[in-house]
C-alpha cells in the first residue's frame, strides 16, 4: 500500500488505523512522489488526499487510470462536496473516505476496493 498526503500527521493516523493488517511500502508528500511510488512498488492500494502539491489527487488518479494501472485508488479527504465525489469517480477511484470518519471507514473502503466494489463515506 502507498499512502500520499502532504500532512505527516494524516500518514501517521492512517498507519495507526491500519495497524499490522496492511503493509505500507511508501508514504509520500505529493502527487508526483505518489505516482513514482505506485509505479515502483505496484501496490494493491493507493490511499491519497485530493488536495496535494505538484499533482493533486484527481490528476494522480486520472494518470493511473489512463495508464491502466491495477492499483486501486482511495481518496482520503476533507471534501464532502458532490463535485469532488463526481470528479473522483470520473478519475476511476474505488473509494472516497472523509477524514473525519477515517477510523470507521478506511478499512471498509480498502476491503470493498479489493473486492472490486466502490466505497463512498456517507
Q: What is the pLDDT of residue 112?
A: 97
pLDDT reading at 38 higher than 90: yes
| CA atoms of 72 and 49, how far apart (whole Å) | 14
pTM of the entire predicted model: 0.94
pLDDT at 19: 87
Tell me how far apart the terminal alpha carbons of the chain are, to the nearest angstrom: 24
pLDDT in tens, 111-121: 999 999 999 99
Quote the cell numbers at residue 29: 508528500
Domains annotated on the chain, with CATH: 2-116 (3.40.50.2300)
Query: Which residues neighbour 87 within 8 Å (Cβ) at sequence distance 6 or greater?
Result: 58
> Each residue of 41-91: pLDDT tens digit?
999 999 999 999 999 999 999 999 888 999 999 999 999 999 999 999 999
Question: How many residues would you count in the chain?
Answer: 122
Amino acid at each position: 500500500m502507498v499512502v500520499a498526503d502532504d500532512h505527516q500527521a494524516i500518514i501517521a493516523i492512517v498507519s495507526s488505523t491500519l495497524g499490522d493488517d496492511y503493509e505500507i511500502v511508501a508514504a509520500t508528500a505529493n502527487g508526483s512522489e505518489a505516482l513514482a511510488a505506485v509505479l515502483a512498488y505496484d501496490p494493491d492500494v493507493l490511499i491519497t488526499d485530493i488536495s496535494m502539491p505538484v499533482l493533486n489527487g484527481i490528476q494522480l488518479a486520472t494518470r493511473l487510470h489512463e495508464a491502466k494501472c491495477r492499483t486501486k485508488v482511495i481518496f482520503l479527504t476533507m471534501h464532502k462536496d458532490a463535485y469532488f465525489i463526481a470528479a473522483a469517480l470520473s478519475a476511476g477511484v474505488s473509494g472516497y473516505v472523509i477524514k473525519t470518519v477515517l477510523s470507521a471507514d478506511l478499512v471498509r473502503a480498502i476491503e470493498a476496493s479489493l473486492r472490486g466494489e466502490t466505497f463512498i463515506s456517507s
